[in-house]
Amino acid sequence: MPAISNKPYRVGRSKTGLGLFATKPIKKGTRIIRYFGPILDSKIPEQDEIENKYLFELNGRWTIDGSVRKNLARYINHSCRPNAESDVRPRERKVYIRAIRNIEPGDEINYDYGTDYFKAYLKPIGCKCDSCEKKRKKQRAEARAEAAKVKARAERKAQKAGAKSSKTKAAKKKKLNGHAVGKPNGRARA
């Protein structure tokens, strides 16, 4: 029988891979989880050259390497309209994730990763957060509607042009049928 956790979150499948989801209601202002891992010093060349997606910069010198398996906060995904934020405490060398609005059970916990991370990792592939997905979906729907309007306009224009040309052809036929056709010398035939 699986152990029941007191934690208000669980790791689960998300649109972008794995994510952290609320299992209990979390009130606004509540400290949810601590982001932790080895502290790296940028003044040490070997530590400054470490590259992974789980680095959390405390300040210009200190960075947390959150790639350790026990750090469940690393599963919190980015969102442009987050329900949590990072509470960075550089002097204590700690980072806490805190709710900025009420989070219901089943909601994915997310925070804004910041512009540097966004530009480096998310912008090239496109942000996959809910608000950006909804924005793109709306833009695609508007583009389809605009394309349909343009197509309908072109069809109406073609129909008008077709109707106009058939009227002029009919008018030309009318003049030719039953009337005298002029000869090259200008005399009319009876």
Phi, psi of 20 (to 5 degrees): -105, 125
Q: What's the predicted TM-score (pTM) here?
A: 0.68
Judged against a pLDDT cut of 70, whether residue 72 lies above it is answered with yes
Q: How do residues 115-173 score in pLDDT, each as one tens digit?
A: 888 887 777 777 877 778 888 888 888 989 999 999 999 888 888 887 776 666 655 55
Judged against a pLDDT cut of 80, whether residue 113 lies above it is answered with yes
Q: What residues contact residue 63 under an 8 Å CB cut-off, 6+ apart?
A: 39, 40, 42, 55, 56, 57
Identify which has the larger pLDDT, 187 or 46: 46
Assign 108 a pLDDT band (cuts: 50, 70, 90): very high
From 9, 89, 74, 7, select the one nearest 36 (Cα to Cα): 74
Judged against a pLDDT cut of 70, whether residue 179 lies above it is answered with no
pLDDT at 135: 83
Segment 68-82 mean pLDDT: 92
The strand pairing partners of 110, in sequence order, are 77
Segment 28-46 mean pLDDT: 92
Segment 21-42 mean pLDDT: 94
Residue with tokens 């059970």: 105
